[in-house]
Amino acid sequence: MTKPWYKDNYRRNLVDMHIDAWDGEFLSKFDPEQYFTCLQKGRITSPMIYTHSHVGWCNWPSKSGAMHPAFKGENKIKRVFDLCNQAGMDTVAYYSLIYNNWAYDTYPEWRMIDIDGVPSRGISGGSMMGGGGRYGLLCPNNAAYRDFLKKQFAELLSEYECKAVYLDMTFWPMICFCPSCRARYKEETGKAIPEYIDWTDPEWLAFQEARERWMTEFSFFATRELKALKPGVTVEHQSSTAPHPWTFGVRSSAAPASDFTGGDLYGGYEQQSFVCKLYYDITCDQPFEYQTSRCDPGLFDHTTTKSAEMLKLHAYLTYAHHGAFFVIDAIDPRGTMNSKIYDTIGEVFSETMAYEPFFTGELEADVSLYFSYASKLDLRNNKRKRAILGHEGSGETSRHLTCLLGAEKALRNAHIPFRINTDKSLAALDKNKVVILSDLVFVSREEEEALVEFVEQGGSLYMSGITPASLVNRILGLTITGFTAETVTYMRPTAAGQQFFCMYDPANPMTIFDKQVLAGNVGHNRILAAITLPYTDPKDSSKFASIHSNPPGIDTEYPAIAYGSFGKGKAVWSAAPFEQSSQTVHKQVFTNLIQYISSDKPQIKSDAPAQVEFTIFRDQEKKILQLHCVNIQEQFPMIPLGGFSVALRLETSPRRVVLLPATTDVPFTVQNGYVEFRVEDIAIFRMYQIEW
């Protein structure tokens, strides 16, 4: 079988082109030759090209839809495809699902409709990510819209020669109450769609499950149609929704509708590191694809462009996970492209491409962050509210994600290599590792069984904040009874726990700006900290101990941190996910606990500055270990770092250590099962290979 086109293809591009047609100037200067020249300058190996946009115009002379008037019947985009294909680039056709203003206007009966009967463009305060506003949204449950898509796909694939189709916007930007959704829900459950969001109400949970199941089914519908029309075509759906809150209705079950996972995100470099690991876990095939814009910080700023240094950090951080880097440009409404941007992109890729031939092996980690698609919500602040997004509800957040991002930062700063696991990879959890569950709201029966078995067989588990009661009970015997009323609380170290608590002691316990979970029946567990409450409830402003703060005043016997064993494994339970705190000491206490329950010797030891992230790939067959060092800074220009030492765990004697891409030999020593060498300096990225 020949290798799929995307395998060794790491430099990708899209030129954002959601241009309207009400001004004759729009796209009037579009020039396929200029487009192609820019891609060549940018050293792009795989361009994704618009065949259709959110505005809904097709860029080909469509029979089922309508061609963008600016092209006056001339298929200029086909010319772009032809030029790229002739030059050996792997072309991808972009198509916008659900977001389609032309069809929204032409077929009003296909529209998504909110609980009040208002379609997306009528929703005040609506946005791309919630409600609509500028965006005309169509319902994937509408059969006529699906028939239209079949015709569109057939036209698209007969018009353009491409290796892949990218389907954007496969998610729910609204809570849809259109007739198709109402009828489908009625048929499946015999019930009406519930009118209130409430995470303690089984009716709402059942409907959210239906939204997720429907979106997975729609993803597979689109993939199946395309592959039936063109066997062998690669299909990729927008997967930026993976870390986004529950509103988008996307579960990991939708991931296999894509041959590989990719999506655009704009949350900075620390978020990127998390997303690369998430994509690495959920993708059906490697490399995954990390997409972000050359616009700084995102596409909403059309004219501000990231520096070469900023783009290099994006590219290298992706490469440190062996992913493909996908840079998004945005076209000027007149149809012109800024060639200076492609000088910059070319400068970036000319440098980074030297590493591409070396990527091999699989990501190694000491710790796994468990990411739950079902838990992307804020149960702590659950309030029953009407099932509508837009200006009322677009502020939905996911505490689960916030907590995991906090844990990620703590692990990076302590140079503990980590990865992300989801329900997709749960069965393959390595029993020598530590798994972190942070404000995990829901677990399925399969997840709970896998986690219990993981600990039983020797794994180490850290559970913090909200954890499903039955899971905590089965592993540590604790009985969860509720939350503290106070939102400022303390963790008071016991004699057994003092060693983990840095500057804190029983008289000066660790502050938690959060409610803590109350649990009883501590049994044989070792209590490492107990809950202390402030003198007064912070909510009551009539009475206080100290006017600026809420100092600790009432010691309780409720456990704050409990440690115990289960089967061959061990577990720590924390009454609050304090790893999310931005304070350095809190992160230190967290890593102290993680190191305490680690069974294995650490894979890496280093005195590198905290902002250096290490990722390790191992290729057991080729007898290669690869170490990537990335200097992750969020401020520019970046400060280059001086030298530091690294010691990598290796069970055998190394033959040599080389610095890539030049394969320069690096002096090393071997001690106690670790190969040690020095990283002389680092601007953004260093990659070493240890061969044995």
By beta-carbon proximity to Zn ion, the closer residue of 249 and 263 is: 249
Query: What x-and-dash track marks residues 30-69 binding Zn ion by CB under 5 A?
Result: ----------------------------------------
Kindly indicate which of the ranges 118-126, 134-142, 295-303, 330-338 contains the residues binding Zn ion, using the contact rule CB under 5 A.
Answer: 134-142
Residue with Cβ nearer Zn ion (59 or 241): 241
> How is residue 629 written in tokens?
């060092």
Q: Which is nearer to Zn ion, 71 or 214 (CB)?
A: 214
∠67-127-107 over CA atoms, to 5°? Answer: 40
Interface with Zn ion: number of residues (CB under 5 A): 5
* Alpha-carbon distances, residue 103 vs 152, 155, 156, 248, 386 (angstroms): 12, 16, 16, 21, 28
Pattern 75-114, binding to Zn ion, x per CB under 5 A?
----------------------------------------
Query: 141 or 208: whose CB is closer to Zn ion?
Result: 141
- CB 179 to Zn ion: min, Å: 8
Q: Return left, alpha or beta for 358; rule: phi > 0 is left, psi -120 to 50 is alpha, else beta.
A: alpha
Q: Give the shortest CB-218-to-Zn ion separation in angstroms.
A: 11
- Closest approach of Zn ion to the CB of residue 18, in Å: 23
Min dist. Cβ of residue 141 to Zn ion (A): 5
Q: How far apart are CA 457 and CA 445, in angstroms?
A: 18
Candidate list 98, 138, 181, 528; residue touching Zn ion; CB under 5 A: 181
Rounded least distance, CB 100 to Zn ion, Å: 14
Amino acid (1-letter code) at residue 321? H
Residue 449: partners with Cβ closer than 8 Å, 6 or more residues away? none
Closest CA to 315 of 359, 267, 277, 353: 353
What is the Cα–Cα distance from 667 to 677, expressed in whole angstroms? Answer: 6
Closest to Zn ion by CB, 189 vs 444, is: 189
Name which of 145 and 279 has its Cβ closer to Zn ion. Answer: 145
Are 657 and 677 in contact, with CB atoms under 8 Å apart? yes
Tell me the C-alpha to C-alpha distance, in Å, between residue 271 and each of 113, 277, 361, 525.
Answer: 33, 10, 24, 35
The only residue of 44, 139, 328, 426 in contact with Zn ion, by rule CB under 5 A: 139
Q: How far is the CB of 264 from Zn ion (least distance, A)?
A: 25
Which residue, 174 or 404, has its beta carbon nearer to Zn ion?
174
Distance of CA 267 to the CA centre of its chain: 10
Whole-angstrom Cα distance, residue 42 to residue 15?
12
Q: Which is nearer to Zn ion, 178 or 330 (CB)?
A: 178
Residues numbered 599 to 628 that lie near Zn ion (CB under 5 A) are: none
Q: Which stretch binds Zn ion (CB under 5 A): 147-155, 169-177, 373-381, 482-490?
A: 169-177
Stretch that binds Zn ion, among 172-180, 291-299, 486-494, 563-571 (CB under 5 A): 172-180
Minimum Å gap between C-beta 187 and Zn ion is 13
> Side chain identity at 358, as an amino acid letter?
F
State in angstroms the smallest separation of the CB of 214 from Zn ion: 9
The span of 151-159, 177-185, 249-257, 313-321 binding Zn ion (CB under 5 A) equals 177-185
Residue 118 touches Zn ion, criterion: CB under 5 A? no
Closer residue to Zn ion in complex, CB, 181/420: 181
Name the segment binding Zn ion (CB under 5 A); options: 48-56, 137-145, 158-166, 247-255: 137-145
Q: Per DSSP, what are the bridge partners of residue 15?
A: 329
In the complex with Zn ion, the residue whose CB is nearer, 192 or 485, is 192
* CB closer to Zn ion, 176 vs 235: 176
Would you say 166 or 204 has its CB closer to Zn ion? 204
Residue span binding Zn ion (CB under 5 A) among the ranges 27-35, 73-81, 138-146, 206-214? 138-146
| Least gap, CB of 180 to Zn ion (angstroms) | 5
Nearer to Zn ion, 175 or 276 (CB): 175
Q: How many CB atoms lie within 10 A of CB 23?
A: 12
Phi/psi at 665 (5° precision): -65, 140
Q: Which stretch binds Zn ion (CB under 5 A): 135-143, 219-227, 263-271, 299-307?
A: 135-143
Q: Residue 142 Cβ, how far from Zn ion at the closest point, in Å?
A: 7
Peptide bond into 61 cis (omega under 30): no
Question: Are the C-beta atoms of 652 and 685 separated by less than 8 Å?
Answer: no
In the complex, minimum distance from the CB of residue 249 to Zn ion, in angstroms, rounded to a whole number: 11
Cα-based distances in Å from 401 to 64, 243, 533, 622: 41, 7, 27, 36
| Residue with Cβ nearer Zn ion (170 or 511) | 170
State the Cα–Cα distance between residues 311 and 299, nearest whole angstrom: 15
Choose, by CB under 5 A, the member of 138, 149, 174, 176 that binds Zn ion.
Answer: 176
Residues 65, 56 contacting (CB under 8 angstroms): yes
SS3 for 10-73 is CEEEEEECCCCCCCCCCCCCCCHHHHHHHHHHCCCCEEEEECECCCCCECCCCCCCCECHHHCC
Q: Residue 195 CB, nearest distance to Zn ion (Å)?
A: 15
What's the CA gap between 66 and 23, in Å, rounded?
Answer: 17
The least distance separating Zn ion from the CB of residue 250, rounded to whole angstroms, comes to 16
User: In sequence order, which residues have a C-beta less than 8 Å from that of residue 19 and are 6 or more positions away?
Assistant: 26, 27, 53, 55, 68, 70, 331, 333, 335
Gap between the Cα atoms of 378 and 397, Å rounded:
6
| 178 contributes a contact to Zn ion by CB under 5 A | yes
CB of 185 to Zn ion, least distance (A): 9
The residues of the shown chain that bind Zn ion, judged by CB under 5 A, are 139, 141, 176, 178, 181
